[in-house]
Amino acid sequence: MSFPSSELSPPPPPSPPPPPSSELEENTSATSVIIKQENASNSPKTSKNYNLLLAINYAFLFVGSVSSTLIFKFYFIHKGSSRWVSTWVQSAGFPLLLLPVFLPYYLFKCTRRRPFSDFSSKLLLLSLAVGVFLGVNNFLFSWGNSYLPVSTASLLLSSQLAFNLILSVIIVKQKITFMNLNCVILLTLSSVLLALSSSHDKPHGLTRGKYLVGFFSTLGAGFLFALYLPVMETIYRGVYCYSMVIEMQLVMEMAATVFATVGMAADGGFSDMKVESARGFDKGPVAYWYTIAGNLVLWQFCFMGTAGMVFLTTSLTGGICMTALMAMNVVGGVVVYGDEFGGVKVVSTVLCVWGFCSYLYGMYMKNKNQKQSHQSSIEMEEVFITHTAS
């Protein structure tokens, strides 16, 4: 007798008993923890280490920007005249970056990553190209600063934020908001007012032609640096740690130094240093070499702080932070060197301060709303998990 195959097949295994409620709660709790961890990894960077690193970089930027601008002007006021020398000192302090690059691995043993171990040939070429670009920017800055008062040069450089916003929209797809536009408009008005008053703000003995050369050289330096920031933000997207940022900065400063060294050699800049230190600098040779050494150190603070801000935040935020220091440079120029500070320049400074303060307040409110929204999403997910488990 034949039977259907279904009758000969073994009975299906009994279904497993439902897990105890305590086990279900443990699984639910574990799932909730995983979701929280994922949300924390996707949330804005708020860890103590991140905030500490951000504060250190802004401190570098603050000290480097204000101090280097003042000591830079000190060089020209006391009969230093070589623009190639002033260009060279902005990047020639790059050996200082060897310390944070190599000491953590070889001396302190606080990292497993070998220096330059992840430095690809593409990243090397990009760093070299940006370094030469930075050397050109340094030369324009030196040319403009040799003619203009510190306060005027600082306020002109504040226009780089407007350039930075436009270029960030094009290069890194930065969104335009009311906060951005408000800041750009105020800073543009600040620069226009400064330009209208430029004919009454020439140092003694300086022709109008040279003043205009300094004026537009400084504007050009601001534009190139504004381009540098979003370009670096794009490159930093392929960089996964802060150590690589320092390594890139080392290579870029080396390339900028080579550019300045070639220019100095062609224009007799090294001979100018000897002549200036011996007879040209009216404070004497000791003060001259202290001035050179101070420039070497302080400019590295400034550029390293800028690179860190761009890596840790965005190019636009880095530009905002630099603009925030322009007012300090203006005050420093007036206090230390007695630069003129008439009514138009007062209004220009107020507009500058108003612009970046309103932007910072907008950023604060935006981050606050993002944190509240993030917390609400976590609470909703917890409610959903609890409802599903029940």
What pLDDT does 101 receive?
95
In terms of C-beta density within 10 A (0-12 exposed, 13-18 middle, 19 or more buried), how is residue 15 classed? exposed
Q: Confirm whether 1 is domain-assigned.
A: no
User: Given this model, what pLDDT does residue 342 score?
Assistant: 78
**Three-state helix/strand/coil letters over the chain:** CCCCHHHHCCCCCCCCCCCCHHHHHHHHHHHHHHHHHHHHHHCCCCCHHHHHHHHHHHHHHHHHHHHHHHHHHHHHHCCCCCHHHHHHCCCCCHHHHHHHHHHHHHCCCCCCCCCCCCCCHHHHHHHHHHHHHHHHHHHHHHHHHHHCCHHHHHHHHCCHHHHHHHHHHHHCCCCCCHHHHHHHHHHHHHHHHHHHCHHHCCCCCCCHHHHHHHHHHHHHHHHHHHHHHHHHHHHHCCCCCHHHHHHHHHHHHHHHHHHHHHHHHHHCHHHHHHHHHHHHCCCCHHHHHHHHHHHHHHHHHHHHHHHHHHHHCCHHHHHHHHHHCHHHHHHHHHHHHCCCCCHHHHHHHHHHHHHHHHHHHHHHHHHHHHHHHHHHHHHHHHHHHHHHHC
For residue 42, give every residue at least 6 positions away whose Cβ sits within 8 Å of its Cβ, in sequence order, or none: none
Whole-number pLDDT of residue 311: 95
Contact between 232 and 131 under an 8 Å Cβ cutoff? The reply is: no
In a domain, 211, yes or no: yes
Give the pLDDT of residue 126.
96
Residue 152 maps to a domain: yes
Whose CA is closest to 64, among 296, 330, 301? 301
Rounded Cα–Cα distance for residues 290 and 310 (Å) = 31
How confident is the model at residue 201, as a pLDDT? 55
Based on the structure, what is the number of domains in the chain? 1
Is residue 8 a part of any domain in this protein?
no
Report the C-alpha gap between 376 and 361 in whole angstroms: 23
Residues of the chain with confidence (pLDDT) below 50: 1-13, 19-46
Q: What angle do CA 333, 63, 335 make, to 5 degrees?
A: 20
| Single-letter residue type at 161 | L
Position 119 in a domain: yes
For 13, other C-beta atoms within 10 Å of its C-beta total 6
For residues 365-378, one letter each, b for 16 or more C-beta atoms within 10 angstroms of the residue's C-beta and e for the rest, the string is eeeeeeeeeeeeeb
Domain with 131, as residue range(s), is: 47-378
Place of tokens 């302190």: 108
pLDDT in tens, 155-181: 787 778 788 988 999 999 988 888 888
| Cα gap 211→152, rounded to integer Å | 11
pLDDT computed for residue 370 by the predictor: 80
Q: How many whole angstroms separate alpha carbon 351 and alpha carbon 190?
A: 6
HSE, CB side, 13 Å, CA atoms: give it for residue 107.
7
Q: How do residues 101-152 score in pLDDT, each as one tens digit?
A: 999 999 998 889 999 998 999 999 999 999 999 999 999 988 887 788 766 7
At 51 the pLDDT is: 83
385 domain residue, yes or no: no
Asked whether residue 9 is domain-assigned, the answer is: no
Does residue 227 belong to any structural domain of this protein?
Answer: yes
